[in-house]
Amino acid sequence: MILGIGALVIGVALTVMGYVGVDINFNMISSLGVLVVGFLMLIKGADMFVEGASKIAAKFKIPQIVIGLTIVAMGTSAPEAAISISAAFQDAAAISVGNVIGSNIMNILLILGASALVSKLKIKPNTLKFEIPFVVFITAALLVLGWIGGGIDKIDGVIMLVLFACFLGYLFYLYKKGDSSAADDVPELSENDKLPIMILLTVLGLVSIVLGSDLTVNSAKNIAETIGIDDRTISLTVVAFGTSLPELITCITASLKNKPDIAIGNIIGSNIFNILFVVGLAGVFSPNPMAFGADFMIDAAVAIGSAVLLGLLVIRKKELSRLSGGIMLAAYVGYCVYLFV
């Protein structure tokens, strides 16, 4: 699985570079190798951190709903969070913001589109009535906040984290009503789960996330400089693809197992987490406001359009059909053509 993911990332990167006529040399291949290692460290580190931290919380009798709505639910957004915060500290705002926007566009158009081709995806009423419109709202809020001040600053970050807390409250409300899908599965303790081992697993996962994010940001910047493509384009495509791998794997697996509510819920929840939690944290911790240029206005508009398109495609039959999946994939191809032409 790990080797397959690495090969997939390299394949996507080489395809993009071949399309724009990049000369593939040793330095480029080595940078790609570092990029893949960074991605794999992020993904594996997130798994280790979530498993370890969840079990520690369970060990101390913290309610499963709290664990599910915090540690576990944030698990698939951990790579985006690590990349964006690391990029913010390295004065690479284009990667920090582009990673989130690119991941959200990719999550809906590419991942849900591909998942729908595997199996029809039914959608829950709550997702259609509240969560998809909420994604549109918060993405528009990101665009407005970025446009007003020319970037995302600490105050903007606090606003997003407050909205994130409101979203957690909504999930808790759903859970109290009996909707168990409001929280992700929480790992159960076994006799072999000793506290020192769980602490070690959590620490190793956190270290892997931090180191992986640094490797990914540095290699992405090197690749962008080498091939003459700006950080924004690299972050919207290659970096976004790498950090969206957990969502891709989860959704395709859910589709194959005929669990469509998991596929759509995972994507919509991840997009909300990405904007409110990831950008919010990056904005709070960034030493300087994260620049939000004119190009990102277009990208944010595409992210809004992607969520609106999803809503329109599912509103009548309450499902995402294979035809709808094809439409979404075509839309994503069109967006990529806009980026590289």
CA–CA separation, 101 vs 107, rounded Å? 10
Give 141's contacts (C-beta < 8 A, 6+ positions apart). Answer: 159, 160, 163
Q: CA-to-CA distance for 132 and 311, rounded, in angstroms?
A: 7
According to the model, what pLDDT value does residue 253 have? 73
The confidence score (pLDDT) of residue 236 equals 85
Separation between Cα atoms, residue 180 and residue 8, nearest integer Å = 34
DSSP assignment string, 4-70 = HHHHHHHHHHHHHHHHTT----HHHHHHHHHHHHHHHHHHHHHHHHHHHHHHHHHHTT--HHHHIII
- pLDDT at position 19 is 53
Q: In angstroms, rounded to a whole number, what is the distance separating the alpha carbons of residues 113 and 106?
A: 9
| Coil, strand or helix at 319 | strand
Whole-number pLDDT of residue 51? 84
pLDDT at 309: 96
Q: What is the pLDDT along the chain (341 residues), one digit of tens a residue?
A: 555 555 665 565 556 555 555 555 667 778 888 888 888 888 888 888 878 888 888 888 777 666 766 776 677 777 888 888 888 887 777 788 888 999 999 999 999 998 888 888 888 888 888 989 999 999 999 999 988 877 898 999 999 999 999 998 888 887 777 765 656 666 677 777 888 899 998 899 888 888 888 888 788 878 777 777 777 888 888 788 877 877 777 777 777 777 666 678 778 888 999 999 999 988 898 888 887 777 888 999 999 999 999 999 999 888 899 999 999 999 999 999 888 77
pLDDT at 303: 96
Q: Which helix (H) or strand (E) holds 97?
A: helix 93-105
Secondary element (H or E) of residue 203 = helix 195-227
Say if strands 290-291 and 151-152 run parallel, antiparallel, or are unpaired.
Answer: antiparallel
